[in-house]
Amino acid sequence: MKGWTRYFPILDWGRRYNGGTLTSDLVAAIIVTIMLIPQSLAYALLAGLPAQIGLYASILPLIAYMIFGTSRTLAVGPVAVVSLMTAATASGIAAPGSPEYIGAALALALLSGAMLVIMGVLRLGFLANLLSHPVVSGFITASGIIIATSQLKHIFGISAHGENLPALVGSLAGNIGALNPFTLALGVGAILFLFWVRKGLKPLLIRLGLADRPADLLAKAGPVLAVLVTTLAVVGLGLDARGVETVGAIPAGLPPVALPGIDPGLWAQLAVPALLISIIGFVESVSVAQTLAAKRRQRIDPDQELVGLGASNIAAAVSGGYPVTGGFARSVVNFDAGAATPAAGGLTAVGIALATLFLTPLLYFLPVAALAATIIVAVLSLVDFRTPLVLWRYSKSDFLAISATILVTLGLGVETGVIAGVGLSLVLHLWRSSRPHAAIVGLVPDTEHFRNVTRHAVVTVPHLLTIRVDEALTYLNARWLEEFVLEQAADRPELRHVVLMCSAVNEIDASALESLEAINHRLAEAEVRFHLSEVKGPVMDRLKRSPLLDALTGTVFLSQYQAFDTLSADPSAMDERDGEGMDVFENAQLYFHARGLI
Amino acid sequence: MKGWTRYFPILDWGRRYNGGTLTSDLVAAIIVTIMLIPQSLAYALLAGLPAQIGLYASILPLIAYMIFGTSRTLAVGPVAVVSLMTAATASGIAAPGSPEYIGAALALALLSGAMLVIMGVLRLGFLANLLSHPVVSGFITASGIIIATSQLKHIFGISAHGENLPALVGSLAGNIGALNPFTLALGVGAILFLFWVRKGLKPLLIRLGLADRPADLLAKAGPVLAVLVTTLAVVGLGLDARGVETVGAIPAGLPPVALPGIDPGLWAQLAVPALLISIIGFVESVSVAQTLAAKRRQRIDPDQELVGLGASNIAAAVSGGYPVTGGFARSVVNFDAGAATPAAGGLTAVGIALATLFLTPLLYFLPVAALAATIIVAVLSLVDFRTPLVLWRYSKSDFLAISATILVTLGLGVETGVIAGVGLSLVLHLWRSSRPHAAIVGLVPDTEHFRNVTRHAVVTVPHLLTIRVDEALTYLNARWLEEFVLEQAADRPELRHVVLMCSAVNEIDASALESLEAINHRLAEAEVRFHLSEVKGPVMDRLKRSPLLDALTGTVFLSQYQAFDTLSADPSAMDERDGEGMDVFENAQLYFHARGLI
């Protein structure tokens, strides 16, 4: 039973469900539904998809998350960044709005869902670590700028396209002559109104006597108000006859539930973007879920979250939707409105389904500019140039990562931007790992402690060199280890003993083991013995299964003090017999090291 | 001047050049030339290129390495694994032997050369660390098997192709009916002779009175003998008229020196293979160079080696060659024959140039089966199934890496094989990095030392939890850090203080800093103070430039003993005023963590 509830968290919370939680969930669901209707339409627009696709993506995916998700309050659905990534990918396949374009968005949801489920079952959630905070922050800032710029065409009533900032700006500038003044007035009005709602409405409502929480929730309903007012303006002033673009006819009725077609060629094209969408969506969603869970002392399971989001995306794919993930603002609203269980998400899905059935005729005269305005105001709050400044002071390599991510995303588009950010972070990490911290250490007088000779007044002996490495020895630093130890030894003609102090070495992998063997052998050629000290238990267990200990010309000392005590009294050269049998070993070494090429 | 000699090592050793070194170099050059002629022809064959391309790749590249290389004894030229990788890539572009195929091989050399030079100038040699020893070992074993199998067609006198083992075996099996018995007899004879030369010739020569070293060098000339005898057999028995394929007419004369054409479309196709060829070639070459240099107490500079190998490949590209790198067997021969400076390489180039001018007519009747036999015998010594067994005992994750590399290379070809090996090693590394070693520690009685509570009898206090993390805190483990600390804290209701003991923390990057801020904040919500102890100097300098120290609810203690001493006496709950001002911080936190999606 434990196993089942792990994969179906609904079996856990569902058994304790009662009237009290139902009431809480119902209130939250109503509020989130009202907020989600204009959002779903707007993000479908951003993704280059017909408006109803946004509604479809807000029904079945929520039910799937209710069954498989572990967060009590996460609200799943279409979100800005994933919509932008969908648009960037699908527009490389077909013309926006065409059946092939919609098919590509659907296939993206399917692939991304399958990838998330597989990652969840294989417990690969740690791969999300590849997205460092600077990369995520930079990516989202740049995406916000691209999204806001891409929506300006709807505010101006002109056409424009491009997956990156220069292309978008160029396209906008080229078409600005066709500007529609009525559209512009509506769009700018909506933007100003929405900014005022953000800053001024809540204080006003509180001054009018409302309590803090309802005032906050009402202020968050600003976009609904903007949508209502602008729709009425279009109808009342007949603006649709004056070239103001509206949403138009939306097919009423629930989404068609059907298995998406199988198209391996298309899937191959979409594999990388689907992976990026999966990981970006997961990282963001899990951050929101963790933050909200911690506030109520609840727990989420990141690996099961992968399954939950994967199921949501597969649900989107079989019900005419497009990629979804957990959204920040709507989850906070859900949380603040008192959602007690994932059932709030299920009830929201029912709300959206009812809206899809009965409200779509009302959306006919909704101006696209009003939806664009809600997107612009929402995404501009994502743009953050403070973090790069903070990082500049704190860490130059993190600053490099965030700047590269921002610039590449703006200049070359979202997909290249994420890849560049992740790639650069990895390269910087590998660079640091290839040069771990190490110190020559000596004895602190009258103690048994050993410290860095360059920072402390310590005792050393000319024929004894002790090196402490402060990191696991792996293939990333094996070559460095060999170079560092041999370089240090080469500078000391009186040297007879080298001790590698392993107090901070948690691992020695096969590549590092080989480097230790090479060090042992090269030092033996110079008649210097090689010793180890303070090897940790698990590392020693493994070394006992390797040929190193047999070949070692020196000893493995339990403590560094014991090594120092024994060896500082023994300045004698290595016994010649110790060199015997090394030739076989040497040949093996050469063979293993370099047998690659004839 | 120091700067110039760094990039042109010839300026350093060239100034000390004299008659003694010239004599040594000349002897070595003659021996290596004799060895290199059949090798160059054979590897060109393996690469699917006309025989003379192998000779061309053994002239100018050697001159370039003489100028830019830092190894005294490395012998550069066509090698088995790189030839196989060239064949695998070029056959995806055009039919073997066609002008487009030769052009692709040339472009590969150019791209690979340019990449190596750029990596060298940017000092990116550390990227070669990505190839762990198990991956290199597995890759070479699998390549050896593929190469040997691919040459069987020449032994059987049939045609066959395929980039991986199943395809090759299938193709061979399908065409085995067309087997030519004369070719088979020649080929099998040559293989048996060459195996005998490896095992039996040297002892025989020594018994005949030769000294060890000349006997060794003569035994290495076995392939030359095989080539001579089989050529005479073809001429004497008229085997060419009986269907035995020979090398045929080779255009005499030096290679045409010309800039290769610029073809961005082709370059884009070749970029990934060129990068793989560069890195594989570099890793192998530098291992050989380092091993040989260490034997004579010489030094090589890996970053300048990148420049040297890059220059060699560019030289190959402008003189009708194909990708080259430092070869193992020929470098050992060069070393053993007494090469004193890189001029030995230059003199070898002169030898090959003379051979290209005057000896090519003699190669007309050289049977292809004899060349295939030299390749098969050479590469089978690369096949090594002992290492996987050793790794199985030593480290399961290294075993996984080597097995995956062998299986994917055999099953899907060399390019996919390297990528799979490197990718899997990285994933395993990321997985380990995402779960660093950490311990709850307590005071060892009557000392100031702190040790793991699960392994030692130590003193702890219920309201105080001390966690020691044994690794740098980076984006790869930031999420883990947050989860681990908060999980440990959640299990202890009496808790008032958490101390993070940072004695092994060499770095805290921006992502980990944010996790520390989140931990501080979440613990504060539970009225638990968060402290640090034993923060290293450079890490502390950085923390002082961050907002963490201002927000910290606890103290940064210089020593863990001081922390324990102070806090074990203070079981009081956190002062309520400390919670003030946290709301702003909390919002900032939530914002930064999760502001991605609306």
- Write the pLDDT tens digit of every residue in A217-233: 788 778 888 889 999 99
Q: pLDDT tens-digit profile of A426-467?
A: 999 988 888 888 899 999 998 888 888 988 899 999 999 999
Please indicate, yes or no, whether residues A391 and A449 belong to a single structural domain of this protein: no
Taking CB atoms within 8 Å and a gap of at least 24, the contacts of B576-581 are B578/B524, B578/B529, B578/B553, B579/B524, B579/B525, B579/B527
Q: Kindly state the average pLDDT of the residues A359-383.
A: 89
Q: Which residues of B touch A137 (CB under 8 A)?
A: 592
Q: Which of these three, B350, B384, B418, is where a domain ends?
A: B384
Two tokens, residue A513: 């083991």
**Cβ B44 vs Cβ B365: under 8 Å:** no
Query: HEC string of B302-330?
Result: HHHHHHHHHHHHHHHHHCCCCCCEEEHHH
Neighbours of A588 (CB within 10 A): 16
Contact flag A477-B398 (C-beta cutoff 8 Å): no
A309: contact with B, CB 8 A cutoff: no
In a domain, A409, yes or no: no
> Per-residue pLDDT for A595 more than 50?
no
Q: Kindly state the average pLDDT of the residues A244-263.
A: 85
Contact flag B132-A507 (C-beta cutoff 8 Å): no
In a domain, A410, yes or no: no
Q: Which residues of A touch B421 (CB under 8 A)?
A: none
Two tokens, residue B180: 């030519």
pLDDT of residue A29: 93
Residues facing residue B468 across a β-bridge: B439, B501
Contact flag B511-A133 (C-beta cutoff 8 Å): yes
Instruction: Out of A329, A477, A510, name the one closest to residue B391 (CB).
Output: A510
Distance CA B382, CA B371 (A): 18
B451: contact with A, CB 8 A cutoff: no
In a domain, A9, yes or no: yes
Q: Where are the beta strands (DSSP E) in B259-365?
A: 325-327
CA distance A238 to chain B (A): 32
Chain pair A-B, CB pairs under 8 angstroms: 235
In this prediction, residue A598 has a pLDDT band, given cuts at 50, 70 and 90, of very low
C-alpha dihedral, B286 to B288 to B290 to B293, nearest 10°: -130
Q: Kindly state the average pLDDT of the residues A474-484.
A: 91
Q: Which residues of A touch B328 (CB under 8 A)?
A: 594-598
Distance CA A346, CA A21 (A): 13
**B461 residue type, one letter:** V
In a domain, B269, yes or no: yes
CA distance A89 to chain B (A): 19
pLDDT of residue B595: 36
B216: contact with A, CB 8 A cutoff: no
Instruction: Out of B132, B288, B510, name the one closest to residue A511 (CB).
Output: B132
> Per-residue pLDDT for A129 more than 90?
no
Contact flag B595-A430 (C-beta cutoff 8 Å): no
pLDDT of residue B184: 95
Residue of A nearest to B478 (CA): A129
Distance CA A81, CA A79 (A): 6
Task: Give B224: exposed, middle or buried? Use CB within 10 Å, 0-12, 13-18, 19+.
Answer: middle
Cα first-last separation, chain A: 60
Please indicate, yes or no, whether residues B278 and B196 belong to a single structural domain of this protein: yes
Please indicate, yes or no, whether residues B69 and B167 belong to a single structural domain of this protein: yes
Please indicate, yes or no, whether residues A471 and A585 belong to a single structural domain of this protein: yes
In a domain, A288, yes or no: yes
Torsion A41-A46-A48-A53 (CA) sign: negative
In a domain, B389, yes or no: no
> Per-residue pLDDT for A596 more than 60?
no
Please indicate, yes or no, whether residues B229 and B364 belong to a single structural domain of this protein: yes
Distance CA B595, CA A288 (A): 8
Two tokens, residue B69: 């290389």
C-alpha dihedral, A584 to A586 to A587 to A592, nearest 10°: 130
pLDDT of residue B594: 38
Distance CA A67, CA A581 (A): 66
Residue of A nearest to B515 (CA): A133
Q: Which of these three, A379, A403, A427, is where a domain ends?
A: A403
pLDDT of residue A586: 42
Q: Which of these three, B384, B419, B446, is where a domain ends?
A: B384
> Per-residue pLDDT for A593 more than 50?
no
Between residues 56 and 115 of chain A, which touch chain B (CB distance below 8 Å)? 79-82
Q: Determine the structural domain holding residue A447 and report its residue range.
A: 438-594
Two tokens, residue A57: 């993506």
**What is residue B461's DSSP assignment?**
B
Two tokens, residue B566: 């102070």
**Cβ A405 vs Cβ A417: under 8 Å:** yes
Do you know the residue count of chain A?
A: 598
Average of per-residue pLDDT values in chain A:
88
Residues facing residue A264 across a β-bridge: none
In this prediction, residue A357 has a pLDDT band, given cuts at 50, 70 and 90, of very high
Render the burial of B450-483: b for 16+ CB within 10 Å, e for the rest.
bbeeeeeebeebebbbbbbbbbbbbbbbbbbbbe
pLDDT of residue B258: 80
Please indicate, yes or no, whether residues B327 and B209 belong to a single structural domain of this protein: yes
Instruction: Out of A522, A596, A597, name the one closest to residue B294 (CB).
Output: A522
Phi, psi of B298 (to 5 degrees): -100, 170
**Cβ B75 vs Cβ B345: under 8 Å:** yes
In a domain, A320, yes or no: yes
Please indicate, yes or no, whether residues A38 and A178 belong to a single structural domain of this protein: yes
Q: Kindly state the average pLDDT of the residues A235-252.
A: 89
Report how many domains make up chain A: 2
A325: contact with B, CB 8 A cutoff: yes
Question: Residue A243: left (phi > 0), alpha (psi -120 to 50), or beta?
Answer: left
pLDDT of residue A162: 86
The interaxial angle of helices A133-156 and A80-90, nearest 10 deg, is 70
Give Cα separations from A465 to A350, A496, A524, B297, B375 (angstroms): 73, 8, 15, 19, 47
Tokens 């066959």: give the residue: B160
Q: Kindly state the average pLDDT of the residues A465-482.
A: 91
Distance CA A179, CA A177 (A): 5
In this prediction, residue A573 has a pLDDT band, given cuts at 50, 70 and 90, of low
**What is residue B164's DSSP assignment?**
S
Residue of A nearest to B77 (CA): A598
Please indicate, yes or no, whether residues A189 and A44 belong to a single structural domain of this protein: yes
Please indicate, yes or no, whether residues A487 and A378 belong to a single structural domain of this protein: no
Cα three-residue angle A332-A338-A344, rounded to 5 degrees = 85
Q: Which residues of B touch A326 (CB under 8 A)?
A: 597
Residues 6 or more apart in contact with residue B211 via CB below 8 angstroms: none
Q: What is the CATH number of the domain that holds A466?
A: 3.30.750.24
Residue of A nearest to B129 (CA): A476
**Cβ A595 vs Cβ B140: under 8 Å:** yes
In a domain, B140, yes or no: no
Bridge-based pairing of strands B325-327 and B75-77 is antiparallel
Q: pLDDT tens-digit profile of A135-144?
A: 999 998 999 9
ipTM (interface predicted TM): 0.81
Counting as low any pLDDT under 50, the low residues of chain B are: 1, 576-598
Please indicate, yes or no, whether residues B358 and B489 belong to a single structural domain of this protein: no
Q: Kindly state the average pLDDT of the residues A342-346.
A: 94
Instruction: Out of B297, B328, B433, name the one closest to residue A597 (CB).
Output: B328
Mutant choice from A374, A517, A541, A597 vs B, greatest count of B C-beta within 10 A: A597
pLDDT of residue A229: 92
Please indicate, yes or no, whether residues B324 and B446 belong to a single structural domain of this protein: no
Please indicate, yes or no, whether residues B343 and B463 belong to a single structural domain of this protein: no
